[in-house]
Structure 1
Amino acid sequence: MRVFVAGATGAVGSLLVPMLLAAGHEVTGTSRTPAGTERIRGLGATGVQVDAFDAEELKRAVCTAAPEAVIHQLTDLSGADGAANGRIRREGTRNLVEAAKAAGVGRIVAQSISWAYTPGDAPADEVVPLDSTSAQPRARTVAGVRALEETAAELGTAVLLRYGLLYGPGTWYAPGGAFAASLAGDRTARFLGSTVVNDAVSSFVHVADAAGAALAALEWPGGPVNIVDDEPAPAHEWLPVLAGALGVPAPDPVAGRQGWERGALNTLARNRGWQPEWPTWRTGFVARRDVL
């Protein structure tokens, strides 16, 4: 299959491209920089330098590649700027979908998130609606997710991968990443999340497992799918384990959580055959896969 990967040098994309090539797919990947484009070419794929906000250039790139499927892994997370990432979800997704339409592409696999669900007491499955009740700044995050998913769904088949918190190489949770720096007390670190040890439930997924899901999703029916590990857990359980693996102190535990901090279930992905190599953060964090 000819596959166009938008965001091929990100944390997920950089692992996904070799997986696609190994599976026999013909891959074109994008990067915003010349260095990133060369990295893609070094993997054996076709590398294209293009900015997702340049609609005409993106359309030209997709039409030239003539893919049978598009994989959307565009993010803007390096600077921990929520507004920038929201713009990618809205404008970048719109430009990519319009380019796919122009190229006659009917299938897209898009990166979404699994913590945009409406508040509840138990981990959410895909039947739970997206949150429409929260105040800012969460409301902006959910609006960006909704825009991404609704825009992607304009194509014939849109598989919406609702990833858990990504850990592993190139993520905020890797050694030297924004979370580790914030946890260690670096006041210059920018991290869009909490380092509080409380009752807030999160679901994680290793980037390699996230990439594997994107590969598998080329054969899945459309709709949202949670891509998370098997163990949603409160921060007072997972954060001390991660802090120990990173070699930094964990804050003292406190009580409380927001209603939307509920985690997510991976039953649907499991039923479709997805088998994460790291089914729980307990082994994933301690194994330090993120530095391999």
Structure 2
Amino acid sequence: MRVFVTGASGAIGRHLVPGLVAAGHEVTATTRTPGKVGQLRAAGAKPVVLDGLDHDAVLAAVADARPEVIVHQMTALAGLRSLRRVDRVFAATNELRTRGTDNLLAAAARADTRRVVAQSHNFVYERSGGPVKTEDDPLDARPITAATRTVTAMKYLDRTVPSTVPEGVVLRYGTFYGPGASEQLLDGVRKRHLPVIGGGTGIWSFIEISDAAAATLAAVERGAPGAYNVVDDEPAPVAQWLPYLAEVAGAKPPRHLPAWLGQLLAGEFVVAQMTAVRGASNEKARRELGWEPRYANWREGFRAWAGSASRAPAR
């Protein structure tokens, strides 16, 4: 098939584009950065420099590619550090998830592209009820104040993609880790900048980055329209996974902070992630996409990730 991948030089795209090419698809891959064109060409794709917020340019690029599937992976999160002011940090990404999504959907309509696969995240679920959410559970109706625009943008994408094109698919990824995906997380653990806050009762779902790309490739080729959680098999509380990551990374155990101090130092959003966020089930993705993660749980994946990071040459 002809597949048009936006944000193709990002964390998922680096794995997805070669996977699509290896599976026999004809790939047009976009990036905002001219310096990354060679990387995309070397992976076997036709590169296009494209600003996802430029309506006319998006229409023209999609019309030229005539894709059967569009993959929406556009974000602007390079250099992400603090999450105290989430909406400020995610402002450009929120634009890509709203106006950028609208541009892609308009282009899909003009090009008669029936299938659009878009990136979302599993932290959109309500922070109440059971510890593990399915795709049928309600989304967060009362997001943290500092993240209101970010959650609203993600909910907009979740709602708009399946309702606009005949085969609209939304992938609610877990927290990425792995080479090139979340070095700041590993660095924070090693420097003991990432404490367990308020008991660490927040439930996280993780997904190793190449596993996320494999699920995206599966969603390009099959699966009914709708949302899918793309996570590993084992949601886990912060109090469990964070000390383990420190251990395999060769770091000292994380510090522990009360919630009130965590809020002063890191903000309300981080405290919510540490104490109240819910995990997600991958049962639907396994069943309907015919996908299963190579790293069934974060223990296996963290060991491999930390080991590869320790063997990487210094820069």
TM-score normalised over the length of structure 1: 0.90
State the match for 1:240 in structure 2.
243
Deviation, 1:178, is: 2.0
1:203–1:228 contact (8 Å) kept in structure 2: yes
**1:49-68 equivalences in 2 (<5 Å):** 49-68=49-68
State the match for 2:110 in structure 1.
102
Which of 198, 201, 204 is equivalent to 1:202? 204
Deviation, 1:186, is: 8.9
Partners in 1 of 2:191 and 2:257 — Cα distance?
18
2:195–2:257 contact (8 Å) kept in structure 1: no
**1:100-139 equivalences in 2 (<5 Å):** 100-119=108-127, 120-139=129-148
Which of 139, 159, 162 is equivalent to 2:172? 162
Which of 285, 288, 302 is equivalent to 1:285? 302
More helix by share: 2
Partners in 2 of 1:290 and 1:38 — Cα distance?
25
Partners in 1 of 2:308 and 2:108 — Cα distance?
33
Q: Which runs of 5+ in 2 are unaligned?
A: 81-88, 260-270
Partners in 2 of 1:56 and 1:202 — Cα distance?
39
1:8–1:73 contact (8 Å) kept in structure 2: yes
Distance 1:13 1:135, change over 3 A: same
1:228–1:266 contact (8 Å) kept in structure 2: yes
- 2:279 matches 1:263: yes
Count how many residue pairs are aligned between Structure 1 and Structure 2: 282
Deviating more after overlay: 33-42 vs 64-73: 33-42
Partners in 2 of 1:138 and 1:243 — Cα distance?
28
**Structure 2 SS opposite 1:137:** helix
Deviation, 1:201, is: 0.7
Deviation, 1:232, is: 0.3
Deviation, 1:37, is: 1.6
Q: Deviations over 1:220-258 (max 9, x none)?
A: 110000000001001111111222333333323457774
Partners in 1 of 2:45 and 2:219 — Cα distance?
20
State the match for 1:4 in structure 2.
4
**Structure 2 SS opposite 1:145:** helix
State the match for 1:190 in structure 2.
none
The percentage of aligned residue pairs carrying the same residue is: 41
Aligned partner letter, 1:136:
T
Deviation, 1:260, is: 4.8
Deviation, 1:100, is: 1.5
State the match for 2:42 in structure 1.
42
**Structure 2 SS opposite 1:205:** strand
Deviation, 1:61, is: 0.7
Aligned-residue RMSD, C-alpha: 2.0
Partners in 2 of 1:61 and 1:129 — Cα distance?
36
TM-score normalised over the length of structure 2: 0.84
Distance 1:208 1:133, change over 3 A: same
1:163–1:226 contact (8 Å) kept in structure 2: yes
State the match for 2:185 in structure 1.
179
State the match for 1:76 in structure 2.
76
**Structure 1 SS opposite 2:47:** strand
1:132–1:139 contact (8 Å) kept in structure 2: no
Which of 202, 212, 215 is equivalent to 1:213? 215
Q: Which runs of 5+ in 1 are unaligned?
A: 188-193
Deviating more after overlay: 25-34 vs 240-249: 240-249
State the match for 1:223 in structure 2.
226
Partners in 1 of 2:161 and 2:37 — Cα distance?
25
Distance 1:79 1:91, change over 3 A: farther
Deviation, 1:170, is: 1.6
- 2:153 matches 1:144: yes
Deviation, 1:195, is: 4.5
Aligned partner letter, 2:187:
A
Deviation, 1:25, is: 0.6
1:241–1:286 contact (8 Å) kept in structure 2: no
